[in-house]
Amino acid sequence: MAVKRLMIAGAAIAFAAFAPAQDDAGARYWLLSGGGEIVGTPVKETTTEVFVDIGPKIVGIPRDSIVKETSAAEAAESEDAVVTGVAADAGEGRMLSQTEMVERAKQSVVLISNPRGAGSGFVLDTEGRVVTNHHVIRNEKYHTVNIFRKRGSQWERVKLEDAEVEAYSPLYDIAILRLPMDQVRAEGLELVPMPVAAPGDLEVGDPVFAIGNPGMGGRLLEHSVSQGIASSLARNFGDIVYIQTTAAVNPGNSGGPLVDSRGRVVGLVTLKAIFQEGIAFALPSSLIHHFLNTSESFAYSEQAGNKGFRYLPPEE
């Protein structure tokens, strides 16, 4: 059964794709003005507020904060419904702890290696697209991508060879790799996409997590997680605005996701202050979305090596 992820007050709840004939047919979905989402059963309504049973408790929703209301069944099937967070098991029907959120997010984080070195990335969709930094894949055509698969209490590394560059931007320092789907299917891998947060969903002071594969000497510390806060949303380097975070990052974290407490990618870890601790920078989700939505303009070109399609600047 398909599972969507909906949010309430920064915490995640999972719900199955409801069928109208089921007992949950009375469940409703509300999209709120601040980007939050609630699924539950309405129990009382006043002129100013709707009271909703979400399972653990009853919450009140101010009417002036409601952007959209529909049935949970329609929301589960609608392309307009925001799919956020990392999916819980079907039928789990409970809020996830912060630890569980991170554990599920780690299913999407990959290790990328090539003759230049190693970096991180995250699975974007089930079609095999992976997002990383351009400087991780620069000047190399094929890359090895390691997917981490949970086996009991242990993580197993599955190596996929010859992932190809699909698009990239040196300016934004972002790139898309395409996994070899024949190998993915042969290994029986389930690709777990990580959703990219909508622009404006992150605020200064919000907790964030950097998940990646930093190095220590000649050793990779796979699947390392560091926690911090968003220190600033407006640090300008080369006319690109970055998120500043206190989450610890090091070489090898490049291309990994900066994740919020709802399991969404709010930034792409890109820069670290040299000889400083607690100062790192991530490309914000707004620019990630811009790149993804216009990726054909950043396409890789077989004829031009790792140079993509580019237009000459207009003559002055």
Q: Domain of 30: which CATH number?
A: 2.30.30.100
Give the pLDDT of residue 245.
96
Does the active-site annotation cover 254? yes
Contact 178, 129 (CB under 8 A): yes
Q: Are residues 110 and 92 in the same domain?
A: no
pTM to 2 decimal places: 0.68
Predicted pLDDT of residue 14: 34
Please check whether residue 226 lies inside any domain of the structure.
yes
Q: How far is CA 157 from CA 81, 142, 187, 243, 282, in A?
A: 33, 19, 11, 30, 26
Say which DSSP state 272 is in.
E
Examine the domain organization and report whether 51 and 75 are in the same domain: yes
Query: Domain ends where: 141, 157, 186?
Result: 186
Q: Spell out a b/e string for 44-54, using b for 16 or more CB atoms within 10 Å of the CB, else e.
A: eeeeeebebeb
Given the residues 71, 135, 224, 261, select the one marked as catalytic. Answer: 135
Residue 38, pLDDT > 80, answer yes
Which residue in the list 71, 108, 169, 254 is annotated as catalytic? 254
pLDDT tens-digit readout, 208-219? 999 999 987 678
In a domain, 148, yes or no: yes
Of 264, 261, 208, the residue nearest 96 (C-alpha) = 261
Structure confidence at residue 78 (pLDDT):
57
Residue 108 and residue 75 share a domain = no
For residues 174 and 3, the model is more confident at 174
If asked whether residues 221 and 173 sit together in one domain, one would say no
Question: What's the whole-number mean pLDDT along residues 148-152?
Answer: 85
Does residue 262 form part of some domain? yes
Tell me how many domains the chain contains: 3
Assess whether 91 and 136 both reside in one domain.
Answer: no
Q: Tell me the range of 11-25, 28-42, 52-66, 223-237 where mean pLDDT is highest.
A: 223-237
Residue 135 a catalytic site member:
yes
pLDDT at 299 over 70: yes
Residue 303 lies inside a defined structural domain of this protein: no
Residues of the domain holding 212: 207-285
The residue-averaged pLDDT of 215-224 equals 81
Question: Using an 8 Å Cβ cutoff, are 1 and 16 in contact?
Answer: yes
Asked if residue 119 and residue 83 are part of one domain, the reply reads: no
Does residue 158 fall inside a structural domain? yes
* Residue of 71, 173, 224, 260 marked catalytic: 173
Catalytic site includes residue 290? no
